[in-house]
Structure 1
Amino acid sequence: MTAPTHQPDPHGATRAQATPDPANASTGELIGQLTEQLSRLVRDEARLAQAEVTQKAKKLGVGAGLFGGAGLFAFFGLAALITTMILALSLVLPHWLAALIVAAVLFAIAGVLALVGRKDVQQGSPPVPSEAISSVKTDIATVKESARR
């Protein structure tokens, strides 16, 4: 006994195809069904993963845009705060000297941050997952050793 199934042909039309009853099917027919079902499962899972990644990428893009906007407004707030520091210092010093002192402090902070960042970049170079590569090499050696036994 066979149960009809509908499968699309290369042109998108569906056609009825007889699928043998598993109890009466030959080994070849069962392997053929398994292959077809497995490939369909893989295609469906790939489509599902693609849809999920697309949806998450859209949300990630919106979130990144909002973070960018927040960073821009934080920058403007910091600029206003720096201006306030210059104006406060100009109450006791000439305006140009107050601005020069605040600029010198900002450049000193930038220099320290650059040195710390440079150290971290040097520690992170080269960007190769050396521990993961070592682990994979160990796994391969273990599998080869097990295969030789």
Structure 2
Amino acid sequence: MLPEQDEPTVGRLVADASRDISALVQAEVALAKSELVVSAKAGGVGAALFAVAGFLGLLVLIFVSIAFAYFLSMTGLHPAWCFLIVAGVYVLLAVVLVLVGVRLIKKIRAPQKTIDTAKKIPGALKGQHAAPRR
């Protein structure tokens, strides 16, 4: 008996499945691209707004510093000394921030457990089993 003409061959089924999977992957990639474009635009606008806010914050800091210096001058100090005091406060704040930053940076350590585990991967791929850790 001859096979019916309507029944597809295995080769044709594989080709159809391959084509369908390829189309599905292409559709998923296109969907991911469109979602990323929307996210990138939103992220770009958000980053720009943060930059503008940071700039405005810097301007506020400058104006508040000037106002503080003028308030100090109301005590009878010469304005130059008042501005020098404000600058000194900022220098002290910067020194404290640098010292705290250095202390935090010194706490950085290599991810030793991850390194140990990564070193075991080649042996595991070769079929060597490591003894369990205790």
Does the pair score TM above 0.5? Answer: yes
**Alpha-carbon separation, structure 1, partners of 2:114 and 2:22:** 31
Q: CA deviation at 1:121?
A: 4.5
Q: CA deviation at 1:53?
A: 0.7
**Alpha-carbon separation, structure 2, partners of 1:140 and 1:106:** 53
* Structure 2: unaligned runs, 5 residues or longer: 129-134
**Alpha-carbon separation, structure 2, partners of 1:144 and 1:97:** 74
The residue aligned with 2:131 is none
Q: Which amino acid aligns with 1:145?
A: G
More strand by share: 1
* Structure 1: unaligned runs, 5 residues or longer: 1-19
Corresponding residue pairs, total? 123
Q: Which amino acid aligns with 1:27?
A: V
SS in 1 for 2:74: coil
RMSD across aligned C-alpha pairs, in angstroms? 2.9
SS in 2 for 1:145: coil
The residue aligned with 1:113 is 97
**Percent identity between the aligned chains?**
32
Q: What's the TM-score, normalizing by structure 2?
A: 0.74
**Which of 70, 75, 78 lines up with 2:61 in the alignment?**
78
The residue aligned with 1:96 is 80
Q: What's the TM-score, normalizing by structure 1?
A: 0.67
**Alpha-carbon separation, structure 1, partners of 2:26 and 2:112:** 33
